[in-house]
Amino acid sequence: MSEPILKIENLSKSYSLGKRDVQALSGINLQVNKGEFVSIMGPSGSGKTTLLNVLGCLDKPTGGKVFLDGVDIASLPEKELYKIRRSKVGFVFQTFNLLPYLNARENVEIPMECVGTQKNERSQKANGLLKSVSLEGREEHRPHRLSAGEQQRVAIARALANDPAIILADEPTGNLDGKNKQDIVKLLANLNINNGTTIIMVTHDSQAAAQSERILLLKDGKISREKQGLLLAKKKLLCPYCGSKVQPDETRCPSCKKALRQEEEEF
């Protein structure tokens, strides 16, 4: 039985919009185990980003409990949340959000500066992380000299800087073209498989979502459906449709003959 890294109990979040209350999230229960790669999909306004904001301690819920690595972040005062953000959460943004006046290594070093890591150690670790996202030799380049895909790789390296309990990725492929899109999803999946990094990814892209382990559909602030992604199958080497054993390089299930590489079905 895997250890839960994130446990959400009856989570709700509402906003006041003038005189009207908007229920962005209601009654969400969810458990994400350590080493899982979960995608959240849903139409615009379904509450995806609100959920991610709450999970990332960027926003406080109005009801329910959220245990992140054993800490109930919903009960923490606002001024304490930055400590959770800096140590337990790594963010990957749709628009990369790199600081334009810092080079790639310095961008990766920033979260480590927050936790007081020494300069030498920071540089060393940042170089290592950039190498792990295939950006060796680009350490001194500023964001404007990197392609969109490379910038997102730097952002992923930055998210990993403080060895967070969880990576929250908000539409990480939203600003990327086809090839870069695939590469970034592959990079996230590899991090998950090889390093056991827990990832929650919000996306509109069903192909990207399919590469994860578990896919949640959010609708009107509630989880309306949940299904397995292809990654789970890869990890377990089982066909997600019929459950029979498959080989890692097989593209179709030998039993049910369904495709294993792509998830075409839309929610």
Partner 1 sequence: MGIANRAFRNISRRKIRASLVIIALAFSMAIMISIPAGASANQQSAQSLTQTLSNTISLTESSINQTATQIDCSLTPSFQNFGFNPQNSTFNQFGPGPRGTFDPSQFGGGGGIPGEFGGGAFAGRGSTPMNESLYSDIESIQNVAATVPILQASEGTNQTISSFGRSFTLLRVEYVIQGIPLNSSLIDSFPILPTNITAGRNLKTEDSGVVVLSENNSAFFGVGVGDNVTILGRVFLVVGIHGTSGVSDRTTLYMSLSDAQTLTNNAGIVTSLEVFAANSDVVSSVADAIGTLHPELTVTTAQDRLTSLQNMQNSYNTALANAQTTLNQTQTTAVEEIVVAISATSMVVLFVMLYTVRERTKEIGTLKAIGFSNWTIMSQFMLEGVLLSLIAGVFGIAIASVAAPLFSGLLLPAVTVVAQGTPFGRAPGLASAATVTLTPILVLIALGAAVVLGALGSLYPAWRASKTRPAEAMKYE
Residues that bind partner 1 (CB under 8 A): 49, 52-53, 56-59, 79, 82-83, 85-87, 91, 93-95, 97, 99-102, 106, 109-111, 113-115, 158, 162, 170, 174
Residue closer to partner 1 (CB basis): 181 or 234 = 181
Q: How far is the CB of 56 from partner 1 (least distance, A)?
A: 7
CA distances in angstroms from 153 to 81, 167, 190, 243, listed in the order given: 26, 13, 13, 34
Residue closer to partner 1 (CB basis): 161 or 239 = 161
Q: How far is the CB of 177 from partner 1 (least distance, A)?
A: 17
Residue 135 neighbours by CB distance under 10 Å: 22
Residue closer to partner 1 (CB basis): 176 or 189 = 176
Side by side, the strands of the sheet bearing 37-41 are 89-92, 166-170, 199-202, 37-41, 214-219, 222-228
Nearest to 198 by CA among 94, 104, 68: 68
Q: Cα(47)–Cα(56) distance, rounded to whole angstroms? A: 14
Element (H, E) at 216: strand 214-219
Largest CA distance in the chain: 58
Q: How far is the CB of 260 from partner 1 (least distance, A)?
A: 33
Beta carbons of 166 and 199 less than 8 angstroms apart:
yes
Q: How far is the CB of 235 from partner 1 (least distance, A)?
A: 30
Residue closer to partner 1 (CB basis): 80 or 226 = 80
Q: How far is the CB of 246 from partner 1 (least distance, A)?
A: 38
Residue closer to partner 1 (CB basis): 52 or 129 = 52
Beta carbons of 169 and 136 less than 8 angstroms apart:
no
Q: Cα(86)–Cα(97) distance, rounded to whole angstroms? A: 16
